[in-house]
Amino acid sequence: MWIYEKRLQYPIRVDTTNPTLAAMIIEQFGGADGELSAGIRYLSQRWTMPTGKSKALLTDIGTEELAHWEMIGTLVYKLTKDATIDQIKGTPFEAHYVNHGKGLYLHSAGGAPWIAAYYNTKGDPVADLHEDMAAEEKARATYEWLINISDDPGVTDTLRFLRQREIVHFQRFGEALRDVQEHNLCKKYY
């Protein structure tokens, strides 16, 4: 059970209308390595974790990823809400607009719709935690590249915050991996 606080985890400031940037940021909304995929992955994997500490960690990070998904959606919305048709025409956001207007839809920056195959759960805690560490590094890399192309200071600030959280999650999953491996190595007495 969660308590939903009706505010974003980090304040979102968007200084421009920029459908092109929105079309790139939507990668983290509905792309393979985006926030929704990560949140569902971690919340699904938690049941097979052998320790309370690792279950709690996956629950905490999975929930935080859903908060990040909300932040990404807010960025995309704010970058496009005041866009005129002339500002949308000829941009990568144009194809999205034709199908979904300014509404958010789960797809990658390249337009591929989100599919359940984007997240994985193996049922083996060690394999799952390695998958999770890789997922955090892929998301961190995507944030790096989004920061490189962002020309909006407010958006860049939010992207930096999200990139930093990916780094922290990677470190925490490394700690959970050590915890699970130690648990697997300890003698069991029956």
**Set 27, 107, 131, 169: catalytic member:** 169
State yes or no: is 5 an active-site residue.
Answer: no
144 catalytically annotated: no
Active-site choice (27, 68, 96, 107): 68
| Catalytic residue of the set 27, 64, 65, 131 | 65
Beta partners for 113?
Answer: 107
Picking from 179, 185, 188, 182, the residue whose alpha carbon sits closest to that of residue 54 is 179
Per the annotation, the verdict on 96 as an active-site residue is no
Rounded Cα–Cα distance for residues 29 and 34 (Å)? 6
Is there a catalytic annotation at residue 65? yes
Q: Is 64 an annotated catalytic residue?
A: no
Sign, Cα dihedral of 56, 1, 140, 41: positive
Clarify whether 137 is annotated catalytic: no
Q: What pairs with residue 107 in β-bridges? A: 113
Which residue among the candidates 27, 64, 131, 166 is catalytic per the annotation?
166
The active-site residue, picked from 27, 64, 131, 136, is 136
Q: Which of 35, 64, 96, 131 is catalytic?
A: 35
SS (H, E, C) 91-130: CCHHHHHHHHCCCCCCECCCCCECCHHHCCCCCCHHHHHH
Nearest to 33 by CA among 166, 129, 176: 166
Q: Are 162 and 143 in contact (CB under 8 A)?
A: yes
Give catalytic residue positions.
Answer: 35, 65, 68, 136, 166, 169
